[in-house]
Structure 1
């Protein structure tokens, strides 16, 4: 069976690139203490205006973890933009699954409801990048992993 959308097809690399651009735009503000302070205030203002809650007050540890996450995701996004490979989509889909689980956990424990928007995007990109790797398509997995 020939699939029109699989990790070995050029369209799949388009999804890898689009998800990388999304990550770069959304997480760049988390990468430094100064940009995170601005982003924190902006997200809290939007959440408050929409009745979706606000972020907790800034503290050094929260800022540190936000900066660590932002820095790693920015570098990961740049890799997927500069050298997109099908296997990057597989790993990005796995990372998005983890991010989505932790976002759901935070929402279940009272996080601001604006997080639902980000959770929806994580799930969407995660599915778009993982479903083409589904085991029933195993005949296309090995070539994609080898970069063919």
Structure 2
């Protein structure tokens, strides 16, 4: 798939919608408290562990991340560009690394489904760029 092709731009937009839906609840202290509670309950029910106790600093970092991701999501929904897919794929590589790091160091198993989606969007958004680069190099 060519990064400039309509299917790739639909993928960029879809990743924006996914991020908006999943992270909007992280953007404010009130909604994050609810998301934290739901993630802990789901993790406990599924045997994946619960979230650590809610603290002011954890809430601050969740709100900062949520706010930035919401804005980045809206940009990709409203104006998906090939460069947005490259940058989003790169960001997802970093998110995947940090989620894997957290899981390797005792983080709650409720992170696993998020890691799977992050890694999938990372691969699907970066692969066309890697193929295009390989084609230029040959």
The TM-score bracket by the shorter chain reads over 0.9
- Paired residue secondary structure (1:114): helix
Q: Distance in 2 between matches of 1:6 and 1:121?
A: 22
Q: Aligned pair in 2 of structure 1 residues 48, 101: CA closer, same or farther (>3 Å)?
A: same
The answer for the alignment partner of 2:134 in structure 1 is 136
Query: 2: CA distance between counterparts of 1:25 and 1:9?
Result: 25
Asked if residue 60 in structure 1 is aligned to residue 56 in structure 2, the reply is yes
As a proportion of its length, which structure holds more helix? Answer: 2
Structure 1 residue 8 corresponds to structure 2 residue 27:
no
State the distance in 2 between where 1:136 and 1:7 align.
14
Structure 2 distance, partners of 1:97, 1:6, is: 20
The normalised TM-score by structure 2 is 0.96
Instruction: Compute the displacement of 1:58 (Å).
Output: 0.4
RMSD: 0.9
Instruction: Return the index of the structure with the highest Cα Rg.
Output: 1
Listed one character per residue, the Cα deviations across residues 105-135 of structure 1 (whole Å, up to 9, x for unaligned) are 0000001111010000000000010000012
| Equivalenced residues, count | 135
Structure 1 stretches of at least 4 aligned residues deviating more than 4 Å after TM superposition = none
Runs (5+) with no aligned partner, structure 1: 140-148
